[in-house]
């Protein structure tokens, strides 16, 4: 396969996904064009039509990203035929499974080797691990608050005692999770990295240590 042929095939694949996603969403071409304009990039309806009908054989990256957002879908879902094709030419002459293509694009290709410190892959892994740490802390905190809330609304003494015991266990877990998250973020900063903003319920993690309110 020539590079020119592959490039046109990629554009055609994206165009088909745009058309199919637009139809599923019940959007007309003018409506999609307006949504793009609302996002700061005016894409003429003729451009969208020409792309969908194959008269245009290339896709501008900025247009691609704005159209994906206007359609309310992750850009990668327009790039690779997830769920509709078993394989895809991820590069000229390189056919792989569609899911492997997605993993390659997002930097999640399985590897038995540890990514070198400071490499792009290692940075991606670090930020993904940070997301997992945030999710763990948020979950344990939510469970602790839920059990304590339920304990406060029951008149059954046995059930109340059970809920309070579970709340205490989750609060201890939340304390550990939040402490681990703080340590993780401190280490990121020590490397010169900027951690993502925390959700409001975890904002206290970046403050001087005082986890006395975790279970309240």
The kind and range of the H/E element at 40 are none
Alpha-carbon gap, residue 91 to 181, rounded angstroms = 38
Which whole-number Å values give the CA distances from 161 to 164, 170, 172, in the listed order? 5, 14, 17
Token pair for 5: 């042929």
End-to-end CA distance of the chain: 62
Q: Report which of 130, 132, 106 is spatially closest to residue 120, judged by C-alpha positions.
A: 106
Q: Where are the alpha helices (DSSP H) in 41-198?
A: 45-53, 61-71, 75-79, 98-106, 120-151, 157-190
In the DSSP assignment, the letter for residue 205 is G
| pLDDT confidence of residue 7 | 93
**pTM reported for the whole predicted model:** 0.76
Q: Are 189 and 157 in contact (CB under 8 A)?
A: no
Is 92 within 8 Å of 6 (Cβ atoms)?
Answer: yes
- For 97, 101, 103, 129, 199, the CA distances from 108, given in Å and listed in that order, are 14, 10, 5, 12, 25
Pairing of strands 94-97, 87-91: antiparallel
pLDDT tens, N- to C-terminus, the chain (216 residues)? 688 899 999 999 999 999 999 999 999 999 999 999 999 999 999 999 999 999 999 999 999 999 999 999 999 999 999 999 999 999 999 999 999 999 999 988 887 788 898 899 999 999 999 999 999 999 999 999 999 999 999 989 999 999 999 999 999 999 999 999 999 999 999 999 999 999 999 999 998 765 455 545
Q: b or e along 113-132 (b: 16 or more beta carbons within 10 Å of the residue's beta carbon)? A: eeeeeeeeeebebbeeebee
Label residue 165 left, alpha or beta by phi (over 0 means left) and psi (-120 to 50 means alpha). alpha
């Amino acid at each position: 396969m020539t590079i020119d042929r592959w490039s046109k095939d990629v554009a055609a694949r994206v165009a088909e996904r745009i058309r199919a996603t637009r139809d599923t969403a019940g959007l007309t071409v003018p409506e999609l064009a307006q949504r793009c304009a609302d996002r700061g990039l005016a894409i003429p309806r003729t451009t969208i039509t020409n792309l969908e009908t194959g008269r245009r054989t290339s896709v501008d990256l900025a247009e691609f990203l704005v159209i994906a957002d206007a359609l309310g879908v992750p850009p990668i879902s327009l790039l690779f035929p997830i769920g509709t094709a078993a394989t895809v030419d991820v590069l000229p002459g390189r056919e792989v499974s569609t899911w492997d293509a997605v993993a390659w694009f997002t930097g999640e290709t399985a590897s038995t080797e540890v990514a070198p410190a400071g490499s792009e892959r290692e940075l991606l892994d670090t930020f993904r691990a940070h997301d997992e740490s945030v999710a763990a802390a948020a979950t344990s905190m939510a469970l602790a608050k839920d059990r304590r809330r339920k304990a406060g609304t029951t008149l059954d003494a046995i059930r109340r005692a059970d809920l309070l015991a579970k709340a205490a266990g989750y609060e201890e877990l939340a304390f550990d999770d939040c402490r681990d998250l703080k340590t993780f973020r401190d280490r990121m900063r020590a490397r010169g990295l900027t951690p993502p903003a925390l959700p409001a319920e975890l904002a206290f993690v970046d403050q001087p240590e005082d986890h006395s309110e975790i279970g309240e």
